[in-house]
Amino acid sequence: MLNDMFIGFNSTPPLWSGTQFGVGQFDFPSVDFENFSPKSIPGNIRLGHKMEHVFAQLIEWEGSYEILLQNISIKNGKNTIGEIDFVLSDQKRDSFLHVELTYKFYIIDPSISEPIHRLMGPNRRDMFFTKLEKIKKEQFALVQKEEARQKLLERNVDLENLEQFVCYKAQLFQPYESEKVHIRPLNNACVVGHWLRFKDFEGSAFSSYQFYIPFKQEWVIAPHENVQWSSHFEILMEINLRMIKQNAPMVWMRKSQNEFEKFFVVWW
C-alpha cells in the first residue's frame, strides 16, 4: 500500500505545464522506482502532509536536488505567520527553488463559464481559484518577510537566486457520461474519473457492479482487486449516510475483473 502511494503521486500529472496564472510549475524529475524502498509515513496525519513526505523521499531518491528546508514554520515572536513547504538546491544549475506542494481532488462544474473557476472539491468548499490566490499572495510572499529571510540565510540560501514554483498535482473528475469538458489551459491528462449525484447513482445502470469506498489515503492510488467489494444495494446504504452528513465519498466501481472506474457521489 505504501509503495502504491508513492507510485500514485509520481504518476499524477501536474495541473498545468510551464507558467500559467503567473505561477510556475515545478518540473518534477523522472523517478526510477527500481530498488526504491519507501520509509514509513506517520498514519495519523492528513493526506496533504503524507504527500509532503512522499515528495521529500522521491526528491532525495532521485538526487537532482538537495532539500535545504522542509515544512518550516515562520514565526513572529510566538505567532506563526506562515509555513514554507520546501527550499531545494538545484545541484546542476547552482540555484535555489522555493516549492509549495499541493495535491488536490477536484470536480469540474461545466455550468461555470471560466475554466479557472470550474474546479472545486467534491463538497464544493475547496476552490482551485482561491488556493491559487493564496499561493501567490500569501505563500510566495512569505519569503519576503524578514523572519523568513533569516531562516533562508541560516541555510546559506542566496535570496537573489531564489526561484519560486508550485508542485501542483491534481486528479480531476468530470460529470458522469459527459463529453470531454474544456479546461484549457489546465491539463486534460489530470481527468481520471467522474462525479454524479446520489439520485443518479441509485439507478439500475449501476446495479450489476461491485463497489468500494476507499479511505482517503487510498484516493491517490488506482483502483485494484484486493479490497472488500460490496454490492450496489450494500453500498447505497453507506453512501446515503454520507449524503446526510454532506460528505461526498470517492467510490471505486468494479465492472469486471481488472476493469474499474472511480468517481465521486455528491450530496448537493
For 104-162, what is each residue's pLDDT tens digit?
999 999 999 888 899 999 999 999 999 999 999 999 999 999 999 999 999 999 999 99
The pLDDT value recorded for residue 92 is 85
Element (H, E) at 74: strand 65-76
In SS3 terms, 186-205 reads as CCHHHEEEEEEEHHHHCCHH
The pLDDT value recorded for residue 1 is 67
CA proximity to 135, closest of 56, 7, 22, 19: 22
Domain definitions of the chain by residue range:
2-171, 176-266
How far apart are alpha carbons 139 and 84 in whole angstroms? 7
For 189-229, what is each residue's pLDDT tens digit?
999 999 999 999 999 999 999 999 999 999 999 999 999 99
The pLDDT value recorded for residue 113 is 87
